[in-house]
Amino acid sequence: MLYHITDGTVTAGGSLILSHIDFEVHGREKIAVVGNNGAGKTTLLRLIAGELDLDRDDKRDGPGIISSRKLTIGYLKQQAFEDKGRTVEEELLSSCPFRESFAMERFEYEREYDILFTGFGFTKEDKKKRLSQFSGGEQTKIALIRHLLQKPDILLMDEPTNHLDIQAAEWLEQYMKQYEKAVVMVSHDRFFLDQTASVVYELSGKKLTRYPGNYTHYREEKRKALRIQTKAYERHQEELKRLNGLVERFKNKPNKASFARAKKKAMERMGQAEKPAEDDIHMFTGPLEPAFLGSKQVFEAEHLKIGYGRPLMELTLRISRGQKIGILGPNGAGKTTFLKTAAGLIPPISGEHSLGNQITIGYFDQHSSEFDSDKSVAKHFHDLFPSLTEKEVRSILGAYLFGGKEAEKRVSFLSGGEKARLVLAELLQSRPNFLILDEPTNHMDIRAKETLESAFRAYTGTILFVSHDRYFLSRVAESVLIFENQSAFYYPFGYEHYLERCRKAEKGEGIAAQIRAEEQALIAGMRGVPKAERHRLREIPEEEAYLDWKLGLILKRLVPARDRVMELTVSMDSLKERWLESEGFWNGEEWEESGSYESLKKELDIAWTDWHQRCLEWFDMAFEDEI
């Protein structure tokens, strides 16, 4: 064990911040510390850094903090440099422990320095600039480079991806995976935590709880533990109620008095169980369905040029019912302009675009939440949907984290993120079948983001959206549209899959499944023609007919592979659900069907790999000329 806090308590300014916590760092673990704002995450980092001491505690055995040896600890803060008159090179080379100019170690240090400096988006010419010439965010990046070069035994990072664009954040993620020292980090960037963390500590109620795995695994385990605790609490309350009923029934009967006393003592031994704290993130379990199904083709564009005065880009594509498409691209590429054009808010420069029959749009951008009202949240919402009962209004608002007193707040007193959440709740309640969203989760905390992610995943309509929140992208987008170099590329899998294919492309393996949006529309249109009529399409050349025949052969293998994945997934979920609801589970017995579950899991891994391979085979075949 590299570092260990045992039964530690920290008080600051007369307030208890951390209470009897246990915290461990092993080897080169990458540890994420999560919790609500004000929970004490920064206090924990300062404690590890040696800036704070544990409270004296006569009940604690030992010193409270132990380490395997004398450790070096680096702490990345927002205010990073005292002397901002130095150049970057002077600052970073001053930290080099190897003074000999021609030493191999110094060569390795300077090479690593170059890799880090350019990896964070700086140019080599920036080395000669003074620190004062850089923005606060750039100075934080330089400070992070300094810490990474020093390689302390434990590196503490407070919001390391603040001020980083997506490319720099992705680069840091890959670097952290190979980083040879331990890291403890606090971050609201859930995607970064998912990619880098091997352990998550949750700080809640002044206590720390350790969860192995990344952020997504932590959330799943927490929900599972909460479900188990809640059922145990309910069983405890039911048993107390049963025993109390027996006591009340027999306490006044002489021949049953001893029996009643025994049951009363049993109740006393059981004690009062503490009710588990509810998860403050609401998960939507049922589908959120649009009021009208709408046509199968939701939106079509052909040679559509978008922009203001001059064209930013041209694209041709088709969006089908039920698709959830995230748009990626650098600032200025035309993402927001395209959303406004698709929503009919601004005209195109040229080209054609159209909506399908009975398509109703729900549009959201950052200006959507710029409104004020003296009404309460509940009154404002009820006025928009007068057919709802008061109870229904409260229930719906509660699902979007406006429960209890939150529903009584004046709308004008809400923060920007809270107003945005209210507007999105109104959009989903109005049940359009085509949502167009521009940065829907900006300025929201994690619980609000995860609640809305759950809602958008439950929504069965079509979504076209832009977001810089990569975790939101990975959870909601089932495919991505990439804007770059004044053109659009459609990628039929999710965001994480796209990143993996990009990494392979950098190694020279190519992105076989990246498709020009124009070609996606062309092929979708060809497939919309009934097979019996395809022979009449003289414009389809023989090579394309041959390609279509080959693709059909692959689809015959792809569809059963997909069905097998779905079948195994349902079987596993059913098996596990039966076990969690069984008497044996609650009595702590061994799971007799665990072997069957593991067997199904292995089959699912094989089936998923097969299905994935068939998908790639289809796209490789369809677009082999693009590879």
Contact 373, 410 (CB under 8 A): yes
H-type alpha helices, 282-389 = 335-342, 377-384
Phi-psi region of 285 (alpha: psi -120 to 50; beta: other; left: phi over 0): alpha
- Terminal alpha carbon distance of the chain: 49
Render pLDDT for 143-156 as a digit per residue (tens, 0 to 9): 889 899 989 999 99
Burial of 287 (0-12, 13-18, 19+ CB in 10 A): exposed
CA atoms within 13 A on the CB side of 248: 6
Whether 82 and 228 share a structural domain: no
What would the pLDDT profile of 362-407 be if each residue is shown by its tens digit? 999 989 988 889 999 999 999 999 999 999 999 999 999 999 899 9
Q: Please state, in angstroms and rounded to a whole number, the distance separating the CA atoms of residues 398 and 396.
A: 5
Q: Which of 472, 495, 527 is the last residue of a domain?
A: 527
pLDDT at 139: 87
> Is pLDDT above 80 for 550?
no
The predicted structure's pLDDT at residue 612: 75
Kindly compute the dihedral angle of the four CA atoms of residues 173, 174, 176, 178, in this order, to the nearest 10 degrees.
160
Regarding whether 428 and 536 lie in a shared domain, the answer is no
For the chain, the domain total comes to 4
Asked if residue 428 belongs to a domain, the reply is yes
Cα–Cα dist 286/288, whole Å = 7
Is residue 574, in this structure, part of any structural domain at all? Answer: yes
Return the sign of the alpha-carbon dihedral for residues 207, 212, 216, 218: negative
Q: Report the distance separating Cα 373 and Cα 364, nearest Å.
A: 19
Same domain, 232 and 380: no
Instruction: Quote the pLDDT of residue 388.
Output: 95
Asked whether residue 536 carries a pLDDT value surpassing 50, the answer given is: no
The answer to whether the CB of 481 falls within 8 A of the CB of 453 is no
Q: What is the pLDDT of residues 116-138, one digit of tens each?
A: 999 888 998 898 999 989 888 78
State the average pLDDT over residues 404-416.
93
Which CATH number covers residue 474? Answer: 3.40.50.300
**How many CB atoms lie under 10 A from the CB of residue 124?**
9
If asked whether residues 202 and 241 sit together in one domain, one would say: no
For residue 282, is it within any domain? Answer: no
User: Same domain for 142 and 261?
Assistant: no
Q: 441 or 613: which carries more pLDDT confidence?
A: 441
Does 232 lie in the same domain as 142?
Answer: no
How much is the pLDDT for 156?
96
| 126/239 same-domain check | no
Q: Is the pLDDT of residue 186 over 90?
A: yes
What torsion, rounded to 10 degrees, do the Cα atoms 215, 218, 224, 227 define? -90
Q: What is the pLDDT of residue 385?
A: 96
Residues ≥6 apart with Cβ < 8 Å to 406: 377, 397
Q: Is 476 exposed, middle or buried (0-12, 13-18, 19+ CB in 10 A)?
A: buried
Give the pLDDT mean for 426-445. Answer: 94
Tell me whether strands 324-328 and 487-491 are parallel, antiparallel or unpaired: unpaired
Average of per-residue pLDDT across 2-7 = 93
- CA 234, CA 213: separation in Å to the nearest integer? 29
pLDDT band at 548; cut points 50, 70, 90 = low
Inside any domain, residue 281:
no
Is residue 249 domain-shared with residue 303, that is, in the same domain? no
Q: What is the pLDDT of residue 528?
A: 53
Confidence of residue 580 (pLDDT cuts 50, 70, 90): confident
Q: What percent of the chain has pLDDT over 90?
A: 46
Residue at 9 is within a domain: yes
Alpha carbon distance 497, 486 (integer Å): 23
Is 46 among the domain residues? yes
pLDDT band at 507 (very low <50, low <70, confident <90, very high): low
- Please determine, for residue 58, whether its predicted confidence score (pLDDT) is greater than 80: no
pLDDT at 624: 57
Domain boundary residue, one of 527, 561, 591? 527
Domain boundary (235, 270, 305) is at: 270
Alpha helices in 309-415 (DSSP H): 335-342, 377-384, 390-399
pLDDT at 539: 41
Contact between 364 and 436 under an 8 Å Cβ cutoff? The reply is: yes
Q: Are strands 182-186 and 65-67 parallel, antiparallel or unpaired?
A: unpaired
Output the six-digit token pair for 590: 């061994």
Q: Are residues 227 and 187 in the same domain?
A: no
The pLDDT assigned to 476 comes to: 96
More confident residue, 145 or 514: 145
Same domain, 389 and 495: yes
**Residues 80, 82, 85: CA angle, nearest 5 degrees:** 110
- Tell me the average pLDDT across 52-81: 82
Q: Note whether residue 212 is domain-resident.
A: yes
| pLDDT band at 627; cut points 50, 70, 90 | very low
* 562 & 493 share domain: no
- Name the residue with higher pLDDT: 582 or 440: 440
Q: Is the pLDDT score of 82 beyond 80?
A: no
Helix (H, G, I), strand (E, B) or coil at 291: coil
Domain, as residue range, for 98:
3-219
In angstroms, rounded to a whole number, what is the distance separating the alpha carbons of residues 298 and 310? 27
Sign of the C-alpha dihedral, residues 391, 394, 400, 401?
negative
Q: How much is the pLDDT for 418?
A: 93
pLDDT tens digit sequence for 17-42: 999 999 999 999 999 999 887 889 99
In a domain, 582, yes or no: yes
Structure confidence at residue 551 (pLDDT): 64
Pair 141, 171 in one domain: yes
What integer best gives the mean pLDDT of the chain?
Answer: 86
Instruction: Please determine, for residue 260, whether its predicted confidence score (pLDDT) is greater than 80.
Output: yes
Alpha carbons 493 and 489: distance in angstroms, whole number: 12
pLDDT (0 to 100) of residue 609: 80
